[in-house]
């Protein structure tokens, strides 16, 4: 039996990151990527939603694949420029490439955790 080839993808939203192994045969399949990410988010306690106008953040503990959207950076060398394209336009993914994710209709945004937020 052949051992599946694995690619490690970094899924990011805001300052949160999930670095997950993905079977290379699934890398071009958006639904499989979403399933891998949603399983990891749910297993880690859920997705925390932070909104400026509320005091207590809400946590979604039963996320589904239909709740999230995925996008690839327009320029892989500058993910913090927050310019995103559809996954089909991204081409092949390599180890530690980044895919942004967003909850429902929220915008895609990845924040550099080493920079201060003002």
**pLDDT for 36:** 93
Domains of the chain: 6-52+60-103 (3.10.20)
Strand partners, 10: 19, 98
Is 60's pLDDT higher than 70? Answer: yes
Q: What is the pLDDT of residues 71-83, one digit of tens each?
A: 999 998 999 999 9
Q: Which pTM value belongs to this model?
A: 0.83
| pLDDT tens per residue, range 63-72 | 999 999 999 9
Kindly write down the DSSP assignment for every residue of 45-100, as one continuous string. T-EEE--TT-SSPEEESS--GGGEEEEEESSTT-GGG--EE-GGGT----TTEEEE
- At 48, list the tokens: 């925390």
Between residues 4 and 110, which one has the greater pLDDT?
110
- Which residue's structure tokens are 């996008």? 71
Q: Which two tokens stand for residue 44?
A: 């880690």
Q: Which residues pair with 97 in a beta bridge?
A: 9
Of 54, 72, 55, 52, the C-alpha closest to 10 is 72
Looking at residue 55, its pLDDT comes to: 66
**Cβ atoms within 10 A of the Cβ of 81, count?**
11
Mean pLDDT in residue range 47-60: 74
- The HSE-up count of residue 86 (CA atoms within 13 Å, CB side) is 3
The model's pLDDT over 16-52, given as tens digits with 9 standing for 90+, comes to 899 999 887 766 688 888 999 999 999 999 998 876 5
């Amino acid at each position: 039996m052949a051992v599946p080839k694995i690619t490690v993808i970094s899924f990011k939203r805001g300052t949160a990151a999930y670095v997950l192994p993905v079977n290379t045969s699934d890398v071009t399949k958006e639904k499989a990527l979403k399933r891998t990410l949603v399983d990891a988010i749910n297993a880690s306690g859920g997705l925390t939603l932070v909104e400026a106008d509320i005091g207590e953040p809400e946590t979604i503990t039963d996320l589904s694949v239909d709740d999230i959207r995925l996008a690839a950076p327009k320029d892989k060398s500058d993910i913090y420029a927050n310019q995103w394209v559809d996954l089909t336009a991204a081409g092949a993914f390599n180890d530690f490439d980044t895919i942004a994710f967003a909850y429902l209709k929220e915008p895609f945004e990845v924040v550099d955790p080493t920079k201060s937020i003002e």
